[in-house]
């Protein structure tokens, strides 16, 4: 039997050259905006974040329950939280693709823990919130974030998905039906009541509100999902323990405990039966499609940080009387590390282009992306209109109605950005540590912290193993009838 | 050195394993928080009482006179529970070995690793340095009393809890480094605060600065041949380094296997997921290979007849320690989020394995030298 070549559905032009699509659509001014964002993130990272990073890690080593209040205060002082909020909602966010992700890379190159441990929850939570198209709550959280920064008091949300017995299972729609869940919601008069617990939740102990996903029927989570916003002081809610982690130490990984925790109707962000059809699956895939790309940027930043450590070491240390940077073995190693950084960046950049030619702006309601909107937006009639169920349904439908091949493209590219970025981050850390020998083992140098921080990125947002299966399902399996993935 | 049979080696394995399980395992994770937890002096005293602290000390000096196969067997079992203690034992064995070979009998009487004293004297030496290229950062000037030492040396393991340190210093006018043993409480010795490290945290590390530290003639070990002698002795300990690596990967694999059979995701035990299965298979395969390699390396140290001995000792150490860094990274991955949590003991192994990779010089330098040693054999 002859081998099959030239598969018509693999490596199509549309699947391969998303960036080319953008050549015609990006306005020139976007470059200026991107450059400005990049420079501002760089200044924040290098001048303000770097001095705190090592000390925060050490403090958490001494006492795992210490919280990164200083980092959060710094974020508020420099208005970094509102950079995650789009401009039409009163924030300063210029765009996920050109503003946020390169900025996240910049931050991660100095301290991945700030991203992965301190502000991650707010970013992830806000994206999750956005995808419910619950405009009223989304605007309220945005408003609180902006107000908080104006008043110098951080307003933070977290995003709680993981349960003690369901980690990977909660990160993939196909696995969720088989998950061993322990937490569920129950409808009551005026709202819902939650019971159970979430674990490993980034910044749980820093958050004012907790965004969580919980099923109404524990035996059928996919078809009975709900998303809720729980106040930190809600009756029946308690913060549990903070984990003692290998790295990302300054960021709390919190346990959230719900015992008949009442959530008022207003804070039920999404319920499976809000509409005649379910949007849960698309909602989750959209959230992951966006946020996994950002995790790829975190990994790229880590790869960069490791490279910078190795470069500095090579310039300032000698072997057998000769400075290491002049030696070919070091030049090879450094070049491999630099190639890795650019490879990782290409992965998340291309994934960002895919995002912008699929979910946004094409299938986010067009009005969200124009300047006119902001003026219209605060019109009270417009407000009342978009808070209606009808408007919500219309917006959710646009996500659901994304063509299948666009959904596949987004899933493949975002998982790839995540895996490539974080695997490369870990690889570069291994390589830098090898080069630096004893010097790299010391906390006060900062490289071993990066090594410890890097590992978590291969695990959260879906392990890199899970993300590979996601990629297989959407780009390879899609053309093979009856293929079993997650079997 | 008599050739030990499999039964005798197994006996050493069993004794060390029982000790490790009973005395080291219960508190290993807690002491891993050093310097935010104490140094486990209790276990060190017990190791000494059981003659585990420097088993290679010659019988003539009251030691067990054990070879590297025995040391390797013990270090493997100890490292399964706590690599910090394993490397501490390695350092004490090597330090006392150096003293025994290069020091005078009088001078030997000053330090004691053995149980009679009840409180063993720990020594320190630069285990992360390339044995063929010791740091050239301390100068020794000949004086009336002996020598005056000035300079600094970084990251010495055991220094914060050591009675003395074996350090390299260049005698003024000489080409090579000499070796000195210097009490940590001599005037002019400044020991830094304990350094927070990636791994081996149960074994405290510190930097050392010497400001006109006066030492007697007897402190000079091995005369002008100090550096060369250090190199020769260090070679023997490459086998035991691989044995520590073996203990670490065995511990990581056991934890990973146990978890993979208990954790359900996707409706089945995660060991049924092929990607997890592959990682576990990799670890098992590496254990099988490293078991042979580490045993062989320890045998090479005990028996100098193999002409490729020097080449093999380096290549085995390089490959084995690198493999274990990758295997322990996967070991954490198998446990998912729990692998990242201190209390599961798995992330500690990833850190300890990475720390181990830096023993006897950084990885790239070892890589460069393997071919040199191979070529110089033929």
Question: Mean per-residue pLDDT for B30-58?
Answer: 93
| Shared domain check, B363 and B312 | yes
Question: Which tens digits make up the pLDDT trace of B132-183?
Answer: 999 999 999 999 999 999 999 999 999 999 999 999 999 999 988 999 999 9
Mutate to test the interface with A, among B273, B340, B369 (most CBs of A within 10 A): B340
| Shared domain check, B130 and B100 | no
pLDDT at B128 over 80: yes
- Tokens read off for B125: 């030496």
| Shared domain check, B320 and B216 | no
| Shared domain check, B117 and B23 | yes
Taking contacts as CB-CB distances below 8 angstroms, the residues of chain A near B124 are none
| Shared domain check, B131 and B63 | no
Which of A180, A460, A486 lies at the smallest CB-CB distance from B264?
Answer: A180
Question: Which tens digits make up the pLDDT trace of B296-326?
Answer: 999 998 886 899 999 999 999 999 999 999 9
| Shared domain check, B263 and B199 | no
The last residue of one of the domains, among B68, B89, B121, is B121
Query: Would you call A319 exposed, middle or buried from its count of C-beta atoms within 10 A (0-12, 13-18, 19+)?
Result: buried
The last residue of one of the domains, among B207, B226, B245, is B226
| Shared domain check, B145 and B115 | no
Residue B56: DSSP 8-state: T
| Shared domain check, B75 and B39 | yes
pLDDT at B286 over 90: yes
The pLDDT value given to residue B3: 67
Taking contacts as CB-CB distances below 8 angstroms, the residues of chain B near A244 are 341-343
The pLDDT value given to residue A372: 57
Which of A167, A178, A243 lies at the smallest CB-CB distance from B267?
Answer: A178
The pLDDT value given to residue B117: 60
Taking contacts as CB-CB distances below 8 angstroms, the residues of chain A near B340 are 245-247, 455-456, 459
The pLDDT value given to residue B91: 97
How many domains, in total, are found in chain B? 3
User: Phi first, then psi: what are they for B157, rounded to 5°?
Assistant: -75, 145
Does residue B81 sit within a domain?
yes
Q: Which residue of A has its CA nearest to B270?
A: A168
- Helix, strand or coil for residue A451? helix
The pLDDT value given to residue A243: 97
Which of B78, B90, B14 shows the shortest CA–CA distance to B43? B78
Does residue B84 sit within a domain?
yes
Which position has the token pair 């003293």?
Answer: B99
Residue B342 C-alpha, separation from nearest chain A C-alpha, in angstroms: 6
Query: Would you call B306 exposed, middle or buried from its count of C-beta atoms within 10 A (0-12, 13-18, 19+)?
Result: middle
User: Phi first, then psi: what are they for B176, rounded to 5°?
Assistant: -100, 175
Taking contacts as CB-CB distances below 8 angstroms, the residues of chain B near A200 are 337
The pLDDT value given to residue A377: 65
| Shared domain check, B276 and B322 | yes
User: What's B290's domain CATH number?
Assistant: 1.20.140.10
The pLDDT value given to residue A391: 87
DSSP line for A386-443: HTSHHHHHHHHHHHHTS-HHHHHHHHHHHHHHHHHHHHHHHHHHHHHHHHHHHHHTBG
Does residue B231 sit within a domain?
no
Cβ atoms A85, A28 nearer than 8 A: no
How many angstroms separate the Cα of A168 from the Cα of each of A247, A323, A462, A467, B334?
Answer: 20, 46, 6, 10, 12
Question: Mean per-residue pLDDT for B59-70?
Answer: 87
How far is Cα B188 from Cα B212, in angstroms, rounded to an integer?
Answer: 6
Counts for chain B of helices (H) and strands (E), in that order: 13, 10
Does residue B232 sit within a domain?
no
pLDDT at A363 over 60: no
Question: Which tens digits make up the pLDDT trace of A66-117?
Answer: 999 999 999 999 999 999 888 888 888 877 667 789 999 999 999 999 988 8
Report, in this order, helix, strand and coil percent for chain B, each rounded to 5: 55, 15, 30
Residue B39 C-alpha, separation from nearest chain A C-alpha, in angstroms: 15
Residue A151 C-alpha, separation from nearest chain B C-alpha, in angstroms: 36
Pair type for strands B138-142 and B164-171: parallel
More confident residue, B5 or B308: B308
| Shared domain check, B322 and B357 | yes
DSSP line for A330-395: HHHHHHHHHHHHHHHHHHHHHHHHHHHTTIIIIIS-GGGGSHHHHHHHT-HHHHHHHTSHHHHHHH
How far is Cα A306 from Cα B184, in angstroms, rounded to an integer?
Answer: 35
Taking contacts as CB-CB distances below 8 angstroms, the residues of chain B near A113 are none
Residue A140 C-alpha, separation from nearest chain B C-alpha, in angstroms: 32
| Shared domain check, B129 and B110 | no
> Average model confidence (pLDDT) for chain A?
91
Q: Which residue of B has its CA nearest to A176?
A: B266
Residue B134 C-alpha, separation from nearest chain A C-alpha, in angstroms: 10
Share of chain A above pLDDT 90, in %: 71
- Domain of B164 in residue numbering reads as 124-226
How far is Cα A463 from Cα B329, in angstroms, rounded to an integer?
Answer: 13
Buried b (16+ CB within 10 A) or exposed e, B250-282: bbbbebbeebbeebbbbeeebbebebbeebbee
B268: left (phi over 0), alpha (psi -120 to 50) or beta: beta
Can you list the domains of chain A with their CATH numbers? 18-153 (1.10.540), 159-271 (2.40.110.10), 280-479 (1.20.140.10)
Question: Mean per-residue pLDDT for B86-101?
Answer: 95
Question: Mean per-residue pLDDT for A163-175?
Answer: 91
Does residue B364 sit within a domain?
yes
The pLDDT-based confidence of A365 (bands split at 50, 70, 90) is very low
User: What's B116's domain CATH number?
Assistant: 1.10.540.10
Does residue B192 sit within a domain?
yes
Taking contacts as CB-CB distances below 8 angstroms, the residues of chain A near B197 are 441-443, 448
Taking contacts as CB-CB distances below 8 angstroms, the residues of chain A near B133 are 319-320
A174: Cα separation from own chain's centroid: 20
The pLDDT value given to residue A374: 59
The pLDDT value given to residue A181: 95
The pLDDT-based confidence of A388 (bands split at 50, 70, 90) is confident
How far is Cα B4 from Cα B102, in angstroms, rounded to an integer?
Answer: 27
Does residue B19 sit within a domain?
yes
How many angstroms separate the Cα of B131 from the Cα of each of B96, B177, B234, B294, B353?
Answer: 16, 11, 6, 20, 20
Q: Do B196 and A61 touch (CB under 8 A)?
A: yes
The last residue of one of the domains, among B196, B226, B256, is B226
Query: Would you call B292 exposed, middle or buried from its count of C-beta atoms within 10 A (0-12, 13-18, 19+)?
Result: exposed
Question: Which tens digits make up the pLDDT trace of A123-141?
Answer: 999 999 999 999 999 999 9
Which residues have CB under 8 Å from A27's CB, separation 6+?
none
Cβ atoms B230, B305 nearer than 8 A: no
Q: Which residue of B has its CA nearest to A332?
A: B364
Counts for chain A of helices (H) and strands (E), in that order: 17, 10
> Average model confidence (pLDDT) for chain B?
94
User: What's B184's domain CATH number?
Assistant: 2.40.110.10
Residue B323 C-alpha, separation from nearest chain A C-alpha, in angstroms: 12
Question: Which tens digits make up the pLDDT trace of A16-74?
Answer: 988 887 777 777 778 888 899 999 999 999 999 999 999 999 999 999 999 999 999 99
Q: Do B198 and A452 touch (CB under 8 A)?
A: yes
How far is Cα A419 from Cα A412, in angstroms, rounded to an integer?
Answer: 11
| Shared domain check, B372 and B244 | yes
Q: Do A246 and B36 touch (CB under 8 A)?
A: no
Taking contacts as CB-CB distances below 8 angstroms, the residues of chain A near B195 are 442-444
Question: Which tens digits make up the pLDDT trace of A296-354?
Answer: 999 999 999 999 999 999 999 998 889 999 999 999 999 999 999 999 999 999 999 99
Q: Do B351 and A452 touch (CB under 8 A)?
A: yes
pLDDT at A366 over 50: no
């Amino acid at each position: 039997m002859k081998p099959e070549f030239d598969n018509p559905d693999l490596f199509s032009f549309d699947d391969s050259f998303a960036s080319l699509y953008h050549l015609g659509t990006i306005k020139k001014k976007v470059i200026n905006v991107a450059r400005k964002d990049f420079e501002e993130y760089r200044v924040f990272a290098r001048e303000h974040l770097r001095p705190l990073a090592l000390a925060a890690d050490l403090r958490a080593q001494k006492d795992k329950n210490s919280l990164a209040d200083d980092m959060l205060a710094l974020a508020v002082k420099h208005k970094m939280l509102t950079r995650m909020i789009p401009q039409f909602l009163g924030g300063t966010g210029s765009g996920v693709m050109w503003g946020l992700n390169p900025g996240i890379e910049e931050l991660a190159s100095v301290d991945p823990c700030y991203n992965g441990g301190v502000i991650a929850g707010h970013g992830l939570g806000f994206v999750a919130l956005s995808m419910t198209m619950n405009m009223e709550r989304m605007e309220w959280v945005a408003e609180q974030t902006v107000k908080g920064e104006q008043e110098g008091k951080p307003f933070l949300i977290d995003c709680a998905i993981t349960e003690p017995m369901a980690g990977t299972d909660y990160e993939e729609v196909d696995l969720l039906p088989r998950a061993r869940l322990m937490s569920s919601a129950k409808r009551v008069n005026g709202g819902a009541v939650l019971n159970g617990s979430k674990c490993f939740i980034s910044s749980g102990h820093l958050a004012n509100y907790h965004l969580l996903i919980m099923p109404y029927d524990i035996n059928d989570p996919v078809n009975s999902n709900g998303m809720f916003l729980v106040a930190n002081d809600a009756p029946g809610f308690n913060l549990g323990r903070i984990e003692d982690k290998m790295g990302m130490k300054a960021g709390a990984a919190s346990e959230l405990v719900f015992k008949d925790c009442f959530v008022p109707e207003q804070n039920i962000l999404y319920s499976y039966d809000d509409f005649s059809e379910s949007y849960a699956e698309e909602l989750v895939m959209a959230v992951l499609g966006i946020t996994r790309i950002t995790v790829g940027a975190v990994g790229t930043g880590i790869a960069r940080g490791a490279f910078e450590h190795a470069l500095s070491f090579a310039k300032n240390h000698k072997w057998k009387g000769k400075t290491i940077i002049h030696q070919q073995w070091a030049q090879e190693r450094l070049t491999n590390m630099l190639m890795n950084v650019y490879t990782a960046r290409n992965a998340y950049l291309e994934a960002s282009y895919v995002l912008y030619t699929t979910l946004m702006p094409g299938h986010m309601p067009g009005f969200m992306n124009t300047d006119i909107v902001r003026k219209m937006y605060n019109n009270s009639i417009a407000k009342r209109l978009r808070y209606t169920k009808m408007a919500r349904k219309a917006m959710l439908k646009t996500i659901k109605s994304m063509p299948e091949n666009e959904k596949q493209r987004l899933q493949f590219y975002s998982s790839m950005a995540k895996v490539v970025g974080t695997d490369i981050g870990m690889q570069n850390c291994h390589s830098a540590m090898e080069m630096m020998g004893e010097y790299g083992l010391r906390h006060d140098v900062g490289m071993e912290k990066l090594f410890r921080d890097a590992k978590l990125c291969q695990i959260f947002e879906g392990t890199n193993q899970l993300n590979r299966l996601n990629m297989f399902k959407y780009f390879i399996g899609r053309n093979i009838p009856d293929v079993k993935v997650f079997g | 050195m008599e050739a030990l049979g499999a039964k005798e080696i197994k006996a050493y394995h069993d004794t060390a394993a029982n000790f490790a399980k009973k005395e080291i395992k219960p508190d290993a994770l807690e002491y891993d928080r050093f310097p935010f937890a104490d140094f486990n002096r209790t276990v060190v005293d017990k190791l000494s009482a059981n003659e585990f602290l420097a088993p290679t000390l010659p019988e003539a000096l009251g030691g067990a006179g054990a070879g590297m196969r025995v040391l390797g067997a013990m270090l493997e079992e100890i490292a399964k529970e706590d690599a910090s203690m394993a490397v501490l034992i390695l350092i004490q064995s090597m330090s006392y070995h150096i003293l025994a070979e290069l020091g005078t009998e009088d001078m030997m009487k000053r330090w004691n690793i053995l149980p009679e004293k009840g409180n063993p004297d720990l020594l320190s030496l630069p285990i992360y340095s390339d044995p063929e290229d010791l740091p050239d950062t301390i100068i020794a000037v000949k004086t009336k009393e002996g020598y005056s030492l000035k300079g600094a040396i970084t990251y010495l393991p055991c220094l914060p809890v050591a009675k003395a340190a074996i350090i390299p210093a260049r005698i003024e006018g000489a080409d090579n480094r000499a070796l000195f043993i210097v009490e940590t409480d001599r005037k002019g010795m400044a020991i830094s605060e304990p350094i927070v490290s990636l791994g081996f945290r149960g074994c405290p590390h510190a930097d050392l600065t010497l400001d006109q530290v006066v030492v007697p003639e007897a402190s000079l070990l091995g005369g002008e041949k100090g550096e060369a002698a250090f190199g020769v002795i260090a070679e023997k300990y490459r086998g035991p380094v691989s044995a520590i690596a073996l203990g670490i990967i065995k511990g990581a694999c056991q934890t990973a296997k146990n978890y993979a059979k208990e954790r359900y995701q996707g409706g089945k035990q995660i060991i049924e997921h092929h990607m997890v299965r592959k990682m576990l298979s990799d670890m098992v395969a590496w254990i099988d290979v490293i078991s042979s390699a580490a045993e062989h390396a320890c045998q090479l140290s005990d028996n100098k007849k193999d002409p490729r001995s020097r080449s093999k000792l380096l290549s085995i150490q390089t490959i084995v320690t690198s493999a274990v860094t990758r295997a322990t990274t996967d070991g954490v991955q198998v446990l998912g989020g729990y692998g990242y949590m201190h209390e599961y003991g798995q992330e500690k192994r990833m850190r300890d394995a990475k720390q181990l990779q830096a023993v006897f010089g950084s990885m790239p330098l070892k890589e460069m030298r393997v071919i040199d040693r191979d070529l110089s054999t033929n």
